Amino acid sequence: MNPPISHEELYLKYKATVYSYIYARVSSKEDAEDLTNEVFLKLFKALETFDGERAKVSTLIYKISYTKVIDYYRTQKNNAELDEKHGILPSAEDLIIDKERFLELLEAVSELPQDQRDIIILRFYKNWTLKKIAEEMGLTYNMVVSRQEKAFNAIKNKLSRF
């Protein structure tokens, strides 16, 4: 049995993926940031009664993220109705495919070695340059480029198996 993971570890491990998932659906950086924070607040509360034997934490995270996006559109009813008329909201089939892709990506990123995962998070969540990542991590630029490439290849290989 795996040792329990702390809230901070969960946040660091999944924040970039949750943010990317939400941002792709709401197209507002500020709203995506707010919703991402709400996902983790709800997740931490849900973990009090979560049964890890019945489901993975990543599944719970996806469900909460998905629900937050739906709630966002419900609260933006006028916009959502307009979006629906113009085909902006995803179909049920698209949501199922997106869920599968999200879970696959989440799993692929979570399986990366810590140094590669950190580079991916800093590069694509924090939008840091490779040079800044190298400076902050105490690595050479070429080492960061190499580790990022290894991470991309690992993710690509993992996703191609699905």
Averaged pLDDT, groups of 10, the chain, 162 residues long: 72 90 85 91 86 78 87 67 52 62 79 88 82 90 91 84 57
Full-prediction pTM beyond 0.75?
no
Model pLDDT, residue 88: 53
Model pLDDT, residue 98: 67
Asked whether the beta carbons of 80 and 89 are under 8 A apart, the reply is yes
Model pLDDT, residue 122: 84
Kindly list the domain boundaries of the chain, sorted by start residue.
1-110, 112-162
The amino acid at residue 134 is A
The CATH number assigned to the domain with range 1-110 reads 1.10.1740.10
Q: Strand runs (DSSP E) across 27-134, as ranges?
A: none
d(CA 20, CA 23): 5
Kindly list the distances between the CA atom of residue 123 and the CA atoms of 15, 24, 106, 118, in Å, as whole numbers in the listed order. 13, 17, 16, 8
Tell how far CA 91 is from the center of its chain.
Answer: 21
> What CATH architecture applies to the domain 112-162?
Orthogonal Bundle (1.10)
Whose CA is closest to 31, among 16, 44, 19, 14?
Answer: 19
Model pLDDT, residue 147: 92
d(CA 62, CA 154): 22
